[in-house]
Structure 1
Amino acid sequence: MTFLSGTQFKITDASGTDVTTDASTAGKFSYGSFADQTFTFRGVELTMNINLSAAESATPAT
């Protein structure tokens, strides 16, 4: 599991194949909501505990 951003992760198998679509959230989560940090992957329920600092959770300038 690799974090791509403050709201997205990627899961790869042993051979490096991207299997993120097997996750119930398709690799997306919300750091602002505990409920949005739980997902199912191949029958296993996983819960993350993401606590970003104010700088890490800041919205990038556009």
Structure 2
Amino acid sequence: MSPKFFYAYLVGAIVALLLAAYRLVAVYSQVSVSEAFLYFIPAILLFYMAYKVYHIKNDSELM
């Protein structure tokens, strides 16, 4: 993972989170809990990748 992708991961995670929230609000009565969890998995993974890349960036600046 390269530190230059930090903002790409962060923007992707925010967009995925907003799309998941919109999907849940738009069809609230037709969504099950497991389906809602599947909508949030990409956002969670992208936030995690942004977090890991941020720490790689900070560690490289200390050396």
TM-score range, shorter chain: under 0.3
Q: Over alpha carbons, which structure has the higher Rg?
A: 2
User: What is the TM-score normalised by the length of structure 1?
Assistant: 0.24
Counting strand residues as a fraction of each chain, which structure ranks higher? 1
Higher RCO (C-alpha 8 Å, min separation 6): 2
Higher helix share: 2
